[in-house]
Chain A
Amino acid sequence: MTENSVRERLDYAESLNNGRGKVAVLDDAVRQADLLGDGPLQYDARMELISALYYVDGAEQTLTHFAWVLKHFDGHREDFDWFGTVSLMWKYKWVLNAAQKFPQVPLSRVRELHADFARRVREEGMGARTVPYFGMQLAQHLGDHEAARAQFSLWQYTGRDVLSDCEACEAHSLVEYHAFQGQEERAVRAAAPILAGRETCAHVPHITHAALLAPLMRLGRWAEAAEQHRLGAPLVKGDDSLISSQAEHLAYLGAARRFGEAASWYDLHARDALSTHEPDRQLEFHAGAAVYLHALARSKTATLPVKSPGPAHATAATLADWHEAGARALAARFDARNGTDWQTRRLESVLALADLTPV
């Protein structure tokens, strides 16, 4: 095994489709690079791995490998040109998103991370727009509407540069922001360019269709919700980097009383979704499943999912309760970490979808 053979592995990995297979190959390449102890090779292999982790359930690993990468970068600053810096800073953005997903990471640590990122933005002279952009997303996670509004203005005001999220992602964030501020109508309108096919990227419009489901249901626009489900479900089906979107579709199917389809969707996704290492996604899935199963229990129809990931021989009602309990426990952990009650309140508004009457 030599540096060349590891580099060949990295090249081979590039030709693979995104997914666990690619991650497994790159994981092995990192291990081999570590055995060689070749710093630049270890760096490159990890950077490739981090890119591939974006497409799977990989936040924990991203944080871990990024820690190494950052340390190497700081210790060998002179080896990196502008492109190398952009590449690193781009991944730092993913890290900002990843860190808040773990309730065992204290809020002070998350804020330190944002501060460290902001410092580097100043020093490297790139990414000014991303600072309020991620600040806004953190504020949304905390349920701080005022802070989110302030960061939103700053974000909209600052010019785009090489580090800004692509226009499609930014367009999607706009939709999420309006939904967060309780402005469902505006959220739906903001999605127009995405739905018209003018803004697309790796996960957009995949996540946008899903994000519109709840607002549309709350606005009573069930036909449009059905259309968003029709368009979005095939895009997120079976993709374990899109568990939150799968959960949103599950909640829709339950609230719309499409129980047969909900059961299939649940059977296909529950196992992987609940074994995810990302607590926020697990929370979303528990919530979506609870909506579906509460609606099912109340309707007193017979279709149940084949395999219960929870208690054996569960009825719809007991399984719904199990999911709700799971969701509440996670929401409570986040709230305890955040010092607010927002995650629980947000969960309750999701659970309330089961009470809506489809038209």
Chain B
Amino acid sequence: MTHTFAVDLRGLIDLLSEHLYGGPEVFVRELLQNGVDALRARESLGLPADAALTFTLGSHEGVPTLTFRDTGVGLTEAEVHSFLATIGKSSKRGQTDFIGQFGIGLLSCFVVSDQIELVSRSAHGGPAVRWEGRSDGTYSLSPAPGDTPVGTCVQLRAKPGREEYFEYAALLGWVRQYGALLPCPVRVQDASHDVLANQDGAPWRQEYASPELRREALMRYGEEIIGTTPLDVIDLTSAAGQLDGVAFVLPWTPSQNARGQHRIYLRNMLIGDERSQLVPDWAFFVRAVLNSNALRPNAARDALHQDEAHTQASLGIGEALRSYLMTLQREQPQRLRQLIGLHYLSIKALAAEDDAFFELFVPWLPFETSFGRLTLPEFLERAPEVRYVGDLNLFRQVAQIEGVQGRGVVHAVYTYDEELLRRYAAHHPEIEVRRLDAQELSRDLGGLSAAELARVGPLLEAAREALEGHGVRVQVGRFQPAELASLYLPHDNFARTLSRTREAVGGGLWGGLLGDLSAEQSVPQPELHLNLSNALVLRAATLQDGPVLRRVVGMLYVQALLLGHHPMTGRELRLLNEGMIELIAWTLEANASSALSMN
């Protein structure tokens, strides 16, 4: 008797093939899942001695076939009708034991096969039944042979174009992947092979003669999982989620896209080899293989359902990893340094974003400081507060100033450094963390005595006149190295950027807009520091001549900009230009008159 599915099967199959996570081979998992569920259901009635799941490859009239057999609870004719006639029927009605939906699971087989033949005899009794479903939406039901054993047998025939899913090596690979942890034997057979796919089971659950042998075995397993020798292996257990498994520390830092590729099993069935949020995002440097006996899958059964239990389990994993790192710090600090050394940039990147991770790693992260390469706790032993230079360009200049170095400065010039320090400040409100600005830096540049200040009066006067309108404050100080005649310290790079952009943009709507923004810049002016330790500046300080002194100061200003790699405004460029021309003219005049006087 022919019946029709109650829904548009063709449409559903197309939908499935579009949205199946992981590709058409998911049907392997679905068959395994159905088999596992059936075995479990039969357990309550007393499992037979030959409990097994078997995949057999063959061919029929030249078309590759796959037969999947389970010795589980089987189906009665009524159950077949009930499950298969209304696809999408929730498994909540009746078979609450099943973690899969029998109907949907079988549907995934239609992605690789146009025809499914199911033969089953129920352990509850009754005649054996044969169901044949076709992808055109029809199915038929007929009696099966009387000697059909209890259990279910599903046969698929390769659709044109899907023959690769019926190849031995590929099938064995998928069965191993999905079913590696299953406690019942899973066999994969064809004409010339008969292999127990899950022979080894979960390596971390086996018994070994010694801890060394266990570690060796786990490291070998790790090589299989990650493709190369791991740095270390970590045992992971968590009561929350009833989790057990291992994590392998990667010897390379995976790129953003390649992270989170952990193997998660749910009740010994692989739920996903793709991104799982069970292992915290911050643990990018491990690849985990985990089994949970308590968490729930999502509706599609391709990922875990993210409920409170999941959150707790994830925290449990985080704790286990954290305690591994703490132990490493205590007992094998060399190995921890190795781990940090390998994953440095990513650790910093993540610490800059993720609190838990940050709190874990920040005490061990080295920073470049004026005292050498130190961790923050080490730095704080030498200095009462954390002062840092965040600007690479500024750092280039102040790196040479001795006074600045002496009081302790963190050179937060590498990527993420500043973020880490800001986060450190947020986490430790009792510690002073300050970004150095020009004002502070200038305090580190030695001051002058009252007498000296009086002597440089004319220099300062000339400087103010010469640089009027350039928006810079002039100071005279004394600092090392003496070769550095002048130093330009912007308080805030943005203010300078804004004024340069205004100059470039001119008027109109956007000039007006930038003008509006400029009106409220409350940032103190940048400072130009002239160095009295420098011979040139010392001589300039003795000059009385107004125009010459002004020109010299102007050039010292421009020189400071050039040495500081600061792009100049048009006005500053003009100052440079005019200054050079005038200085050249004076030099030529001086030479000419001395030539004259020699004659």
**A-binding residues in B (CB < 8 A):** 256, 349, 352-353, 355, 390-393, 415-419, 422-423, 425-427, 429-430, 493-494, 497-498, 500-501, 504-506, 509-514, 516-517, 519-520, 565-567
CB < 8 Å neighbour of B510 from A24, A71, A267, A306 = A71
- In the complex the two chains form, is B516's CB within 8 Å of A104's CB? yes
- In the complex the two chains form, is B494's CB within 8 Å of A60's CB? yes
CB closest residue in chain B, given A32: B565
A47 to chain B, nearest CB (A): 15
- In the complex the two chains form, is B427's CB within 8 Å of A67's CB? no
**B-binding residues in A (CB < 8 A):** 16-17, 19-22, 24-25, 27-28, 31-32, 34-35, 60-61, 63-65, 67-68, 70-71, 99, 102, 104-106, 109, 112-113, 116, 237-239, 267-269, 271-272, 306-307
- Known A-B contacts: A25-B415, A32-B565, A68-B504. Give 19 more (CB < 8 A): A21-B416, A21-B417, A24-B390, A24-B392, A24-B415, A24-B418, A31-B566, A34-B500, A60-B498, A60-B517, A61-B497, A64-B494, A67-B501, A67-B514, A109-B509, A113-B513, A238-B423, A239-B353, A307-B430
CB closest residue in chain B, given A65: B501
A13 to B368, CA, bound (A): 21
B299 to chain A, nearest CB (A): 12
- In the complex the two chains form, is B429's CB within 8 Å of A17's CB? no
Chain B residue numbers with a CB within 8 Å of A24 are 390-392, 415, 418
Shortest 5 CB-CB contacts between residues of A and residues of B:
A34-B567, A307-B429, A21-B415, A21-B416, A67-B510
- In the complex the two chains form, is A267's CB within 8 Å of B498's CB? no
- In the complex the two chains form, is B519's CB within 8 Å of A109's CB? no
- In the complex the two chains form, is B416's CB within 8 Å of A19's CB? yes
A34 to B497, CA, bound (A): 11
A123 to chain B, nearest CB (A): 15
- In the complex the two chains form, is A31's CB within 8 Å of B567's CB? yes
CB closest residue in chain A, given B415: A21
A31 to B392, CA, bound (A): 11
- In the complex the two chains form, is B415's CB within 8 Å of A105's CB? no
Chain B residue numbers with a CB within 8 Å of A17 are 256, 349, 352-353, 416
CB closest residue in chain A, given B358: A238
Q: List 6 A-B contacts (CB under 8 A).
A: A21-B352, A31-B393, A64-B497, A64-B501, A64-B514, A68-B504
CB < 8 Å neighbour of B516 from A61, A102, A116, A268 = A102
- In the complex the two chains form, is B516's CB within 8 Å of A31's CB? no
B6 to chain A, nearest CB (A): 26
CB < 8 Å neighbour of A109 from B418, B425, B513 = B513
CB closest residue in chain B, given A277: B494
- In the complex the two chains form, is A35's CB within 8 Å of B565's CB? yes
A34 to B513, CA, bound (A): 22
B508 to chain A, nearest CB (A): 9
Q: A35-B565, A102-B516, A102-B517 given as contacts; is B422 within 8 A of A272 (CB)?
A: yes
- In the complex the two chains form, is B426's CB within 8 Å of A238's CB? yes
Chain A residue numbers with a CB within 8 Å of B430 are 306-307
A264 to chain B, nearest CB (A): 10
A20 to B420, CA, bound (A): 10
- In the complex the two chains form, is A237's CB within 8 Å of B355's CB? yes
A32 to B506, CA, bound (A): 22
A269 to B355, CA, bound (A): 12
Q: A102-B516, A237-B355 given as contacts; is B418 within 8 A of A70 (CB)?
A: no
- In the complex the two chains form, is A116's CB within 8 Å of B509's CB? yes
Q: A28-B393, A35-B565 given as contacts; is B509 within 8 A of A112 (CB)?
A: yes
Q: A31-B567, A112-B509, A238-B353 given as contacts; is B516 within 8 A of A106 (CB)?
A: yes
- In the complex the two chains form, is B494's CB within 8 Å of A61's CB? yes
B427 to chain A, nearest CB (A): 7
A54 to chain B, nearest CB (A): 16
- In the complex the two chains form, is A64's CB within 8 Å of B519's CB? no
A36 to B392, CA, bound (A): 18
A109 to chain B, nearest CB (A): 6
Chain B residue numbers with a CB within 8 Å of A63 are 513-514, 517
A267 to B505, CA, bound (A): 41
Chain B residue numbers with a CB within 8 Å of A237 are 355
Choose among B256, B426, B504, B513 the residue with the greatest number of A CB atoms under 10 Å from its CB: B513
Choose among B355, B497, B500, B514 the residue with the greatest number of A CB atoms under 10 Å from its CB: B497
A314 to B494, CA, bound (A): 33
Choose among B511, B512, B516 the residue with the greatest number of A CB atoms under 10 Å from its CB: B516
A64 to B509, CA, bound (A): 13
